[in-house]
Amino acid sequence: MAGYHFGWWDVHGVPTDADSGKALRAALTLSVAAAYGSLEQGCRAAAAVELMHNFTLIHDDVMDGDHFRRGRPTVWAVWDVGGAILLGDVLQSLAFRMVSTDMPATVSAAAAARLAAAGVEVCRGQQQDCLFETRTQVEMNEYIAMAAGKTGALMGCAAALGALCAGATEDAVADMETFGNELGLAFQFVDDIMGLCGDPATTGKPAGRDLLRRKRTLPIVAALESDTAAARSLAELYLSTQAIPPTEVAAAIELVVAAGGIQRAGDQAQARITTALAALPADLHTPDLVALAQLVAHRNR
């Protein structure tokens, strides 16, 4: 199941070249470690954050009932919910094993503590996200606080671990955590935009699926806060007890656009990228770290 999820082989174990994901968090860990001159020291931590991230993806697919990820059926859809939950648990355990072996004891302990703290924050954010689906109103500051846990925490951990494993000072580790946290927020906001306007052939996910579930993502929250006719029409759609027909998704997306939701979400994402780059010390504006920030801001998948 793990090999299938990572795109290494199909359901029968036959090797394939399916999409393995962006590995953005692992790249962030390695790029930070390299910026401090110790690329090799960040390898185990990079593997750990990638394993932790995929644990959250597999459980997220179960909770959201998503049938597709990266253009292929999700693990739970191929096998079953129980198997997917167990696979996620295994990946989380492997993540901690990665930072608990073959690393200096002091670094290992600090890395495990940071990984655990990030895991708690991810779960907190995910729980808030689930609760938002039962509420009639969610404010932008509440959504941003949720995203800081669900997505920002692990990105911040990834960057901090790169600095920690490379022997950076506590202040430097804190700076990198801020850099990663802000990138994580930008990543989530761009992801929200793609969930509405992305090309399914590129993203591997159906367009408008959040609307069909009446999920409150940043563009939708921002649109509903605007004092416009489009916002009022969108609110009526969200408050209705009737299922949203798939044929009306395109019209609903237009309401989000007309109410300024996409624009405001995009502005928020760009503001976070700016804050992230400002957190980097001047001598650490390396091509790799700047490129990763721009990738988060301008990606299409």
pLDDT tens for 3-25 read 999 999 999 999 998 888 889 99
Residue 77 lies in a domain: yes
Q: What is the mean pLDDT of residues 186-199?
A: 90
Residue 161 lies in a domain: yes
Nearest residue to 55 via CA among 84, 26, 17: 84
Read off the pLDDT band of 134 (50, 70, 90): confident
- pLDDT per residue as tens digits for the range 42-82: 999 999 999 999 999 999 999 988 898 888 999 999 999 99
Residue 10 lies in a domain: no
Residue 234 lies in a domain: yes
Structural domain containing residue 129: 22-298
Amino acid 187: pLDDT: 95
How would DSSP label each residue in 200-228? HHHHSS-TTHHHHTT---HHHHHHHHS-S
pLDDT at 136 over 70: yes
pLDDT at 112 over 70: yes
Amino acid 153: pLDDT: 97
**CA atoms of 226 and 170, how far apart (whole Å):** 42
Amino acid 283: pLDDT: 86
pLDDT at 218 over 90: yes
Amino acid 204: pLDDT: 66
In whole numbers, what is the pLDDT of the chain averaged over residues? 92
Does residue 83 come out as left (phi exceeding 0), alpha (psi in the -120 to 50 range) or beta? alpha
The better pLDDT of the pair 1, 64 is held by: 1
CATH number at residue 91: 1.10.600.10
Residue 9 lies in a domain: no
Amino acid 206: pLDDT: 72
Amino acid 152: pLDDT: 96
Residue 14 lies in a domain: no
- pLDDT per residue as tens digits for the range 265-291: 999 999 999 999 999 988 888 899 999
Contact criterion met (CB below 8 Å) for 33 and 48: no
In the chain, the number of structural domains is 1
Amino acid 209: pLDDT: 82
**CA atoms of 96 and 264, how far apart (whole Å):** 38
Residue 17 lies in a domain: no
pLDDT at 197 over 90: no
Residue 13 lies in a domain: no
